[in-house]
Structure 1
Amino acid sequence: MRINSFEPINRRERRKVIALTGASGYIGSHLLKRLEEDADIIAISRNTDASKNCSQVEWRSCDFFSQEQALEALRGADIAFYLIHSMLPSAKLTQGSFEDMDAILAAHFARAAAQNGIRQIIYLSGMIPAGLPENDLSRHLRSRLEVERILGSFGVPVTTIRAGLIVGPEGSSYPILSKLVRRLPIMVMPSWTRTKTHPVALTDVLDALTASIGRAEVMGRFIDVGGPDIMSYGQLLRETGELMGLKRIMIPFPFPTIKLSRLWISLITGAPKAISYPLVESLAHPMVASKENEVDGISKGSISYREAAKQALEQEMKKQKAQAHSSQSPLAQEQADSSPNSEPAISKKLKALKSDVRSVQRFTLPPGKNADWAGKHYVNWLSNAFKPFIYAEHAENEIIRIRVRPLRKPVLELSYARELSSAHRSVYRITGGCFALTAEAPDGRLEFTQLPESQDCLAAIHDYMPALPWLLYKYGQAKIHLIVMYAYGRRLKRLASNRPMKSK
């Protein structure tokens, strides 16, 4: 059932223009088919091809770790969907948590949306348990809440659709559940399998997202969505087994064993730890839609779990048959493996990453200080903290050369990008040094980004390509960088607490 067919902002001039991030992903690709019937779409993906453009859809490549690319990608849009998540690594070496990566992405997106005059952001988030303190939430759900706050901190109204288990043939959560049933004839059922959840069909989620477009009464609020069934995870496993025609022996176990569960779930299903661990950690929380967060025409899905799971399993079987028949056709096999959430696609994506680095560390700024101060303070601190072994040399045109004794040449050259920097953001381009391949990675940079309405600051290296042999870099220079950043974090913590310090 289609819920919403929206009207253009100005019928006399043009149709509504919607920017869709994650357009090549699982949710995004299905949502794109819905949206293009009623609007002009800017379909945004990290790597795309302009040859895919058509009369209603313009594809744009964007790395939202770049504030400048984010600003350009959202240009011309009226409404923007935020379907970005950073659980999988975006570089060959990723140092930092997915929470910090997500915070940077959300800040860049929200600031670009505000500067482009976006009228509404629609964000698909996770179900947040009612009445549970934020500090008691899983890492994944705390991150989803932080992203929600960041998106709403730049003046653009945000509509947040909160969903629990989305039942569909691909995605992240449901395929893990179906693989467990298929591969485990005997299951030990920890106490978390008795936790209640509110599964919702993919179709109902798409209905909720499209029904939120342009509705004034849902701007600036969050909305819970769920299907007609509230079930425990154990019930989901049993019913999925029945649909598959598989009889499974389930042995109750009185303890939660979340840490052990996430390990064996990852091993059994083959899901990357970067995805499975945060998701499994959330299983301890009940995820049921709250009546106070319901909105008529959006919150209540009509498709039962059994019907949604049956459809998902049928689609999965069709895909497997298509792959089997296409085994003699390399082109068809390549197309079958191109789903952005399939295991072959994830594996290929990770292997295809160039030898680049992304490293993100979070600090708390002292009261009254901002990101631009942090960048300059870091360089000055570096000049003294590790003498005589590591020091920073200031040159003309706001160039800083990092030197390591006994090497004669600077290991890194940083150029302060005044035109890109502001109070909330300090940018240093990596323009030289014997430790950097600047010709292969001209966009390498060190950034300090202050999160909105917060004293939290993220120091990040983006698009850096080391000149050292990879293993030497990974287990040498990269580890030293973490030590340096840890020491700087301690320095800022002491400043923030006003404890006595040495002059350096």
Structure 2
Amino acid sequence: MEQREKIALTGASGYIGNNLLQKLTGYSDVIALSRNGDDRENSEHVEWRSCDLYSLDSAEKGLQGADYAVYLVHSMMPSAKLTQAKFEDMDLILADNFARAAKKNGVRQIIYMSGIIPQDTEELSRHLKSRLEVEKVLGAYGTPVTTIRAGLIVGPKGSSFPILTKLVKRLPMMMLPKWTRTKTHPIALKDVLTALKKSIGNKKLSGKSIDVGGPEVMTYEEMMIQTAEVMGRKPKVFEIPLMTVTLSRLWVSLITQSPRSTVYPLIESLKHPMVAQKENMDDEISYGQTPFKEAAKEALEEEKKEQKKKKTASSSSKSSGVSDVRSVQRILLPEGKDADWTGDHYMNWLSKLARPLLEVETNQQRVSRFRLIGFKKPIMELSYAPERSSSNRALYYITGGSFAKIMDGSRGRIEFRQIPGTQECIIAIHEYRPSLPWILYRISQAKVHIIVMYLYKRHLQHLIEKSEEHKQEGPVKKVVHMN
């Protein structure tokens, strides 16, 4: 018998992933990756693995044995009890870990689900900028990437279509701002699944970004009216010319009761026409055949089934009660400097900044201990991990200190990670558990950390400006000397 290929599927328990999983098992074995994969039962052709993509080590283990990998990850929801981060910075860490892990495991191809990118990329919304940045990072380590770019996906879960249906359900009169006249290219979930499936192992699409769309190009207003018709509703429609995107996103969040972290980036993107471009389309996978009304009807019927399941699941679910912190900031490095330099430089800079209240001692093994003046016990101990670090990634584990709660299996860490091909660097704290009472931590240590990161960013900017001044002065000095 011919050996079945292995496909690693991220987000296998999520919106698109769970549906794609059913399609893939007919001809391949699937490594289903999920945060709680160990709680799932394996089947003949599905192996569930718990995988935390914020951890490079976990990502490497998750992709072991995979021939292909499907990337369906997005970080618009908080991932810790306290998250101090922009979604685009968290997305970058996830993608970078995934790309590194794919390279290490010899994955032949990454298939990435993204959004349609408009032709004018100079003023992209934060959401679309992030989607494009993730695409670049996934391909930065040499693994070929096939990107499937879609506009609004019509399905029972996800983000955009459920928000649209909630607006239609809850508004007796639909007052539609200017962005609802923006054109988009909706596509049924089943057509997206077909495009993803046909991309896996497709050498013709290797290294390409492919736009996909359904048979109709529509405005959001037209989609809302047709969705209302499917629901058997006939709300009155009024166009509002003056409502700004800022007001719209607040209005949509209040009406739909959806998290701002999800709604705001999506509404900001609606200023862009999200229409598939012919030059980016492929005859085999780009042209979805399901009309919008049919797709909306199927999605609403599936949504009713999902709501029943959700009630059952929520009644039996329990909170883990973990009080952890994730904090991510992006900085710009001076020319010629890398992540490893940044880790070392940050420790030295912080020791000077905090004087005379705080002293930082760093030994030859790059173990740094932070002590308040007059106290022997450190408030924090960071231990450099040489086996997990490189020039573009410096990793320090949180190994002690009175401000940290250290237990068996603790994975608290701080990392300095350079974005491939740039002088930008991410400084991230993961899975840190403070020993201070939670309320006290939030109003003190958490805020101090943000201030320190801001000051360090300013410090690096000063170094960059100083370096540029020296470059400009150099030629002038030579001319004066010759005269």
Q: TM-score range by the shorter chain?
A: over 0.9
Answer yes or no: is 1:121 the counterpart of 2:89.
Answer: no
Instruction: Check 1:315–1:452 CA distance in 2 against 1; reply closer, same or farther (3 A cut).
Output: same
Q: Given the alignment of the two structures, is residue 295 of structure 1 paired with residue 282 of structure 2, yes or no? A: yes
Give the 3-state SS of the residue equivalent to 1:154 in structure 2: coil
* 2:382 alignment partner in structure 1: 414
Q: 434, 442, 445: which is aligned to 1:466?
A: 434
Q: Which residue of 1 aligns with 2:296?
A: 309
Which of 321, 329, 339 is the matching residue for 1:361?
Answer: 329
CA distance in 2, matches of 1:258, 1:333: 34
Once residues 323 and 374 of structure 2 are traced to their aligned partners in structure 1, the CA distance between those partners, rounded to angstroms, is 27
RMSD of equivalent CA atoms: 1.9
* Change in 2 beyond 3 A, CA 1:371/1:353: farther
TM superposition shift of 1:303: 0.1
Instruction: Give the secondary-structure state (helix, strand or coil) at the position aligned to 1:463.
Output: strand
Q: Does 1:49 align with 2:48?
A: no
In structure 1, give the amino acid aligned to 2:43: C
Q: Which residue of the other structure, out of 93, 96, 114, is the alignment partner of 1:107?
A: 96
Listed as ranges, the matches of 1:87-486 within 5 Å are 87-130=76-119, 132-134=120-122, 136-320=123-307, 322=308, 333-335=311-313, 337=314, 352=320, 354-395=322-363, 397-405=365-373, 407-439=375-407, 442-486=410-454
Would you say how many aligned residue pairs link Structure 1 and Structure 2? Answer: 469
Contact 1:451 1:457 in 2 (8 A): yes
1:260–1:406 Cα change, 3 Å: farther
The structural deviation recorded for 1:451 is 1.1
- Structure 1 window deviating more from structure 2 (351-360 vs 28-37): it is 351-360
User: 2: distance between equivalents of 1:197 and 1:214?
Assistant: 29
SS class of match (1:460): strand
The whole-number CA distance in structure 2 between the counterparts of 1:473 and 1:290 is: 50
* Aligned-partner residue type, residue 121 of structure 2: P
User: Corresponding residue for 2:10?
Assistant: 21
Cα distance change, pair 51–99 in 1 and its aligned pair in 2 (3 A): closer
Structure 1: gaps of 5 or more residues: 1-10, 324-331, 338-343
- Residue type at the aligned position of 1:164: G
Displacement, 1:396?
6.1
Compute the TM-score of the two structures, normalised by the length of structure 2.
Answer: 0.94
| Partner SS state of residue 419, structure 1 | helix
| TM-fit CA distance, 1:127 | 1.2
Whole-Å Cα distance in 2 between the matches of residues 42 and 434 of structure 1?
40
CA distance in structure 2 between the partners assigned to 1:353 and 1:140 by the alignment: 31
Deviations 1:22-79 (A, max 9, x none): 0010100000000011101100001122651111011111111111111111010000
2:25 is the counterpart of 1:36: yes
- Cα displacement string for residues 100-135 of structure 1 (whole angstroms, at most 9, x for unaligned residues): 0000110010011011111000000011112x133x
Q: Distance in 2 between matches of 1:462 and 1:182?
A: 39
Q: Name the residue aligned to 1:3.
A: none
Structure 2 CA distance for aligned equivalents of residues 313 and 474 of structure 1: 41
Q: What one-letter code is carried by the residue in structure 1 that aligns with 2:215? A: P
User: Could you say if the C-alpha distance between residues 432 and 318 of structure 1 is closer, same or farther in structure 2, counting changes exceeding 3 Å?
Assistant: closer
- Tell me the TM-score normalised to structure 1 length: 0.90
The CA distance in 2 between the partners of 1:415 and 1:459, in whole Å, is: 16
Could you tell me how far 1:333 is from its partner in structure 2?
4.0
- Matched to 1:354, the amino acid is V
- C-alpha separation between the residues in 1 aligned to 2:306 and 2:104? 42
1:38 counterpart SS class: coil
| Matching residue's letter, 1:490 | R
Following the alignment from structure 1 to structure 2, what is the Cα–Cα distance between the partners of residues 317 and 270?
A: 18
Displacement, 1:407?
4.6
Distance (whole Å) between structure 2 residues aligned to residue 90 and residue 291 of structure 1:
37
Question: Are 1:74 and 1:113, in contact at CA under 8 Å, matched by a contact in 2?
Answer: yes
DSSP-derived class of the 2:444 partner? helix
Give the conservation status (yes or no) of the 8 Å contact 1:110–1:150. Answer: yes
2-side partners of 1:142 and 1:290: how far apart?
A: 18
Q: Is the 8 Å Cα contact of residues 440 and 465 (structure 1) preserved in structure 2? A: no
2:74 is paired with a residue of what secondary structure?
A: coil
Measure, in 1, the Cα distance between the counterparts of 2:409 and 2:124. Answer: 38
Check the 8 A contact 1:441/1:465 in 2, yes or no.
Answer: no
Task: Report if the CA contact (8 A) 1:50-1:58 is conserved.
Answer: no
Distance between the aligned counterparts of 1:391 and 1:265, measured in 2? 49
Tell me, in whole angstroms, the C-alpha distance in 2 between the residues paired with 1:203 and 1:500.
Answer: 53
- The answer to whether the Cα contact below 8 Å between 1:441 and 1:464 also exists between their aligned partners in 2 is no
Which of 449, 454, 463 lines up with 1:495 in the alignment?
Answer: 463
**Deviation larger for 408-417 or 32-41:** 408-417
Structure 2 residues not aligned, in runs of 5+: 470-483
Q: 1:51 to 1:87 in 2, by over 3 A?
A: closer
Structure 1 counterpart SS, 2:387: coil
| Residues 256 and 38 (structure 1), Cα distance of their counterparts in 2 relative to 1, 3 Å cut | farther
Q: What is the rounded CA distance, in whole Å, between the counterparts of 1:175 and 1:441 in structure 2?
A: 39
Q: In the alignment, what sits opposite 1:329?
A: none
Deviation at 1:418, TM superposition (A): 1.2
For residues 153-183 of structure 1, the C-alpha deviation after alignment (integer angstroms, 9 at most, x for no partner) is 1101100000011001111111110010000
The aligned counterpart of 2:475 is none
Deviation at 1:267, TM superposition (A): 1.2
Q: Which amino acid aligns with 1:467?
A: S
Preserved CA contact (<8 Å) 1:91 1:353 = no
Give distance in 2, aligned partners of 1:475 and 1:497: 33
- Structure 1 residue 266: Cα displacement: 1.0
8 Å Cα contact 1:20/1:28 also seen in 2: yes
Match for 2:94: what amino acid?
A: L
| Alpha-carbon distance change, 364 to 319 in structure 1, aligned in 2, over 3 angstroms | closer
Q: Distance in 2 between matches of 1:333 and 1:189?
A: 32
Q: CA deviation at 1:438?
A: 1.0
Secondary structure, counterpart of 1:49 in structure 2? helix
Tell me the percent identity: 56
